[in-house]
Structure 1
Amino acid sequence: MSDDEAPQRWTEASVYPDMWADPDKDPRNNDFSPDGELATLQDFLVNYRLTLQLKCEGLSAEQLARRSVPPSTMSLLGLIRHLAEVERDWRNWVVPENPAPKIYGERDADFHGAAADQALVDAAFADLAREQAECDAVLAAYTDLGARLPKDDTSVRELWVHRVEEYARHCGHADLLRECVDGRVGQ
């Protein structure tokens, strides 16, 4: 993409023009700090999940499937599919005795299969919502963050931190991907 084809940067914010939205209109601002380690991890995860949703909001199937820069296969739709896949994998860490198979097949199919098709987009968002809910449900049984999970003796704490880290990293990718699609800046 040449500089002439690059979208102009834009934002809905009026107070902070380098942000996605003004703080009083940001749905992630909740004006409280949760008490306790588990509640804090859950709050961060919820906000990163919402950030990813906001980054994808209002885009067409073609825009969601648009790849970043060659040879990368990364796209916003690919990120949605990838996070559905990793949520399933994390659930398999908690319940390893009967692991659920990969959603999209072989390694990296989550990114490779992200195509500009509304049915694929709808399925990806449904997959992500389902896998998030199922992983959340199996982890709800573990209130002791020091408890060890059956797979690899990983602590519950480590899995929670890994989930937050995974979403945070990919929200950074989503910032750049969204800005390349239509110029909307990150926050």
Structure 2
Amino acid sequence: MSDIPQRWTQAGVYPDMWADPDEDPRNNDGTSPDGELATLQDFLTNYRLTLKMKCEGLDPEQLARRSVPPSTMSLLGLLRHLAEVERDWRNWIRPANPAPKLYGANDADFDGAVAEQAVVDGAFTDLAREQAATDTALAAHPDLGERVGKDGFAVRELWVHRIEEYARHCGHADLLRERIDGRVGQ
């Protein structure tokens, strides 16, 4: 008996995909958005949805399952981490009166990712709230070349950094999910 799950997918057309293209909620009508800001928003939306999809159908124990020692990474930890970094990006925009950490110092976002339904519910709630708050904060700065915060970051840089953060962690989520139940896909 092995604790390594069999690889599987729900896709029937492309066996290396998470879902068939006609059932993938990330797919749109095939037309890319007009303009740089709309393109950045579209990429971020799709990565956020990808992370959510990678967590669907799992129980608290599966979401909290760690990757491989000594890493503390788990899908639940990623949800909590991204809530924390969304909050931190707002602190870059408005450095006065920075919002406090959600989960504590250092790796508390990952260390506190325990297999309890209340922790799971809290992580999804925190992430949605922090995403909405950061979206609202950035909506006040539609000029991508505008410099914000004490360090004068370009708004464009904040958008690109957010996309990079989600993209990197979606790659982690791919591997974590496959290790949990064998489900593969983009």
Query: What is the CA–CA distance in structure 1 between the aligned matches of 2:151 and 2:133, rounded to whole Å?
Result: 20
| Counterpart in the other structure of 1:12 | 10
**1:93 and 2:96 are equivalent in the alignment:** no
Residue 95 of structure 1: how far off its partner (Å): 1.5
SS in 1 for 2:82: helix
Q: State the Cα distance separating 1:5 from its structure 2 match.
A: 1.4
Kindly provide the amino acid, as one letter, of the partner of residue 96 in structure 1. Answer: P
> Is residue 137 from structure 1 mapped to residue 143 from structure 2 by the alignment?
no
| Percent identity for Structure 1 against Structure 2 | 78
Identify unmatched segments of 5+ residues in structure 2: none
Q: Secondary structure at the match of 1:143?
A: coil
Query: Which letter does structure 1 place at the counterpart of 2:176?
Result: L
- Looking at structure 2, the residues matched to 66 and 6 of structure 1 have their Cα atoms a distance apart, in angstroms, of 14
Name the TM-score, length of structure 2 as normaliser. Answer: 0.98
Aligned residue among 22, 25, 32 for 2:23? 25
Question: TM-score w.r.t. structure 1 length?
Answer: 0.97
Indicate the residue corresponding to 2:174 in structure 1: 175
C-alpha separation between the residues in 2 aligned to 1:91 and 1:30?
29
Q: Could you say which residue in structure 2 is the equivalent of 1:41?
A: 40
Equivalent residue number for residue 51 of structure 2: 52
Q: Distance in 1 between matches of 2:40 and 2:150?
A: 21
CA distance in 1, matches of 2:17, 2:2: 24
Distance 1:138 1:95 in 2: 9
**How many angstroms apart in 1 are the aligned matches of 2:56 and 2:161?**
25
Residues 140-155 of structure 1: matches in 2 within 5 Å?
A: 140-155=139-154
Which secondary structure does the structure 1 equivalent of 2:148 belong to? coil
